[in-house]
Structure 1
């Protein structure tokens, strides 16, 4: 079991000593704060220890969080930003709005080595195309096969506002390199729609609007757990799957910076980590965290990823490649 601590020695057990009349304002994405997401349980657990109020503000999706920070700048009302991912770290740091987290991350398990003094990782996953095996007979075994040798229709998310959508863009680039725009153009022929966020895409898929939807390798665990069905599966691709690590950070202009750091420490402790697998349907960063039994059946694929610096340097050009293809 991992025991967490911060340089300020602020732990959830000491949170009562950080009392404040103002709510701790946390910008996050919509599905995190939905009634079936982790937000309500994490909010309740933290408020019980801190004798304080937590106010989650749900925005469309992860990239929208960065856009909101960029728009508000130093006037942001947020104390914490929660729900960006590792690909956006370097770009977000350039805004110079964040404080060092001071949380001990040495005991966490992640898909690649993590060293960052600003962002705290709280869960992770690998992107995948999910399908209904009662409807799809021939499942591609690679991203290349899906793009060039399949007739399956797909729905995915907009990479300009959605971190899953951005994840697909990075996945395509990691596999196809300089040929990514051609791959996008070919794939576009079978795209039903591109949605602003994950929830809309997955709902349309479940309504039968497409054969496959961009989601995560762990998404089938939800259906196994709550619907007692294994008909939904994630296609596993031979090239590997692009990884996503979700992160949180403290805004340096927060007037509750110690409280905010304490919340981040809480986020990587068992009371919060036990909640995430069965609500956010991602892997926890603590091995000791409780997980639904269905996670034992989930595949851990080969990890693909770019450094956040590489993404920051190239994201605009890669978005242009996608946009050129999507507009055809």
Structure 2
């Protein structure tokens, strides 16, 4: 029979092992085998002297709002700048504690709570074998009855919400007319990005709402240069994805180490290749060559988090009006 002393020692070892687990709340794509999570897990664990990084995946915003202070985790990753106000207002985050001078986004960043790990421009991606003369402006796209589209529902998709706010900033109260025009060209509107992009790659539509960097995946992973982003003269909507430390973190020191890792060159290179997006803390000269060589939108369009939240409801009303005409 084991003594109470042995039992106490065993429990102490178990607690110590558990104490070395960093729990990161992330979207489903992030922790999947084709997302950036596996490489990030391997890289961070190689640095943290025996710790384990564990991803808990799902709908991050819903989890923050539904679980609140009961949420068990140390770090949240994968929120974007159109939703950070809602996340901030939960009161569940503490300052990230990282210097911001290494950031290379094309916008000023002074947020002490959320740290950007990547950024990107939303863009209509097309198949060059199907679209020989892509539109060069949003205004032209609305007149192109020869082009079929697939895109995402702004109520359930970050890419769809970005499109909603892009149109809202360009067209304001006239947006209902824009949505009516787009609906006539639309094959379907999907719940998420993966479904829409899958339909596009299967040839169900000529263009899909995605990101200016999406062609990089096809070039690198498939040796296929038939996909390209249409660059619009009005500019492109910019979003950044962020990470933050939860106030209830069981491992605050590990969480701080992870946030520092986010800014490392190793992490940033992983983001470029595994998340197929612009890294937030690498100068353009250090991006993968294939990414540097792609057409690059020069005019960022965006809302700050307060304006994005303020315009979301009215913009959705205009979307519904246009889509039901």
TM-score norm. by structure 2 comes to 0.89
Larger Rg: 2
**Bigger shift: residues 114-123 or 283-292:** 283-292
**1:168 maps onto 2:166 in alignment:** no
Deviations 1:156-176 (A, max 9, x none): 122112111111011111111
C-alpha contact (below 8 Å) 1:225/1:292 kept by paired residues: no
Match of 2:99 among 90, 96, 104: 104
Work out which of the residue numbers 22, 29, 50 in structure 1 matches 2:27.
Answer: 29
Post-superposition shift, 1:186? 1.5
| In 2, Cα distance between equivalents of 1:320 and 1:257 | 41
- Distance in 1 (CA, whole Å) between partners of 2:82 and 2:210 is 17
**C-alpha deviations, 1:192-212, integer Å up to 9, x for none?**
222222222111110011110
C-alpha displacement of 1:116: 0.3
Specify the alignment match of 2:296 in structure 1: 300
What pairs with 1:132-143 in structure 2 (closer than 5 Å)?
Answer: 132-143=127-138
In structure 2, distance between residues paired with 1:30 and 1:274? 21
- State whether residues 31 and 199 of structure 1, in contact with CA within 8 Å, keep that contact through their aligned partners in structure 2: no
Deviation at 1:327, TM superposition (A): 4.1
Match of 1:193 among 180, 188, 203: 188
1:20 Cα shift? 5.0
For 1:105-148, what per-residue CA distance to the aligned partner results, in whole angstroms no more than 9, with x for missing partners?
11110021011000000011100011111111231111111123
Report the CA distance between 1:84 and its aligned residue: 0.9
Partner residue in 2 for 1:267: 262
Alignment of 1:1-328 (within 5 A): 21=19, 23-50=21-48, 51-59=50-58, 64-287=59-282, 291-301=287-297, 302-328=299-325
TM-score by length of 1: 0.88
Count of matched residue positions in the alignment of Structure 1 and Structure 2? 307
Once the two structures are overlaid, the 10-residue window that deviates more, 151-160 or 288-297, is: 288-297
Tell me if the contact between 1:140 and 1:150 (Cα under 8 Å) persists in the aligned partners.
no
How far did 1:155 drift? 1.1
Secondary structure of the equivalent of 1:277?
Answer: helix
Q: How far apart in 1 are the matches of 2:321 and 2:253?
A: 45
> 2:104 touches 2:283 (CA, 8 Å); kept in 1?
no
Once residues 112 and 238 of structure 1 are traced to their aligned partners in structure 2, the CA distance between those partners, rounded to angstroms, is 19
In 2, the alpha carbon distance for the partners of 1:288 and 1:48 equals 25
Q: Secondary structure at the match of 1:208?
A: coil
On the 8 A contact 2:73/2:250 being kept in 1, the answer is no
* 3-state SS of 2:180 partner: helix
Contact 1:84 1:163 (8 Å CA) reproduced: no
Q: Distance in 1 between matches of 2:74 and 2:189?
A: 32
Determine if contact 2:145/2:185 at 8 Å carries over to the other structure. Answer: no
How far 1:40 moved relative to its partner? 0.3
Instruction: Please give the secondary structure, in 1, of the residue aligned with 2:142.
Output: helix
Query: Unaligned stretches of 5+ in structure 2?
Result: 1-15
After TM superposition, what 4+ stretches of structure 1 lie above 6 angstroms from structure 2? none
Contact 1:148–1:187 (8 Å) recurs in 2: no
CA distance in 1: counterparts of 2:176 and 2:263, whole angstroms: 39
* 8 Å CA contact 2:237, 2:301 repeated in 1: yes
CA RMSD of aligned residues (A): 1.8
Q: Distance in 2 between matches of 1:295 and 1:317?
A: 36
What is the CA distance between 1:298 and its match in structure 2? 1.8
Distance 1:44 1:310 in 2: 38
Deviations 1:247-306 (A, max 9, x none): 011111122222212211111111211111111111112226964321121222111011
Q: Structure 1 residue 85: deviation in Å?
A: 0.9
